[in-house]
Structure 1
Amino acid sequence: MEKFKVNTNDGKISSINRTIRLKPEYFEKIMELSEKTGVSFNKIVNQCIEYALNNMEEK
């Protein structure tokens, strides 16, 4: 399986507002990635979800 990579060329995405709770360590790691790459926190979270859903093992 290919490793996850932050896409820095991702355009604007349509979205739905929803409150989610993250473990503090996930929040900190995503914030670090956001600051390092210049990609918004929200876009990184969406990319992580897309990656997980596309690479999920189905039974």
Structure 2
Amino acid sequence: MGLKIEKKEYINKTFRLDKKLIDEMQIVCKEKNITMNKLVAICLRYALDNIEDTDEQN
């Protein structure tokens, strides 16, 4: 019985973002010593976990 390591699947995507937003994100990356990719993943996970159901708002 060996050690089983699960491999994550990754997909490349391209997004157009406002320069000011990218500049702000680069500052955060530098302060936190993380990659832009990691910051984007953290932000998206947070947004998805905290998004409100739009049907409940109407």
TM-score, structure 2 normalization: 0.73
Residue 48 of structure 1: aligned partner: 43
Count of equivalent residues: 47
1:31 counterpart = 2:26: yes
Residue identity over aligned pairs, in percent, reads 30
- The structure with higher relative contact order (CA 8 Å, sep 6+) is 1
Q: Which has the larger radius of gyration?
A: 2
What runs of 5+ residues in structure 1 fail to find an aligned partner? Answer: 1-12
4+ residue segments displaced more than 6 Å = none
For 2:5, the equivalent position in structure 1 comes to: none
More helix by share: 2
Q: TM-score, normalised by structure 1?
A: 0.72
User: Deviation of residue 22 (structure 1)?
Assistant: 0.7
Report 1:7-22 matches (<5 A). Answer: 14-22=9-17
Superposed CA RMSD in Å reads 1.3
Structure 2 unmatched runs, 5+: 1-7
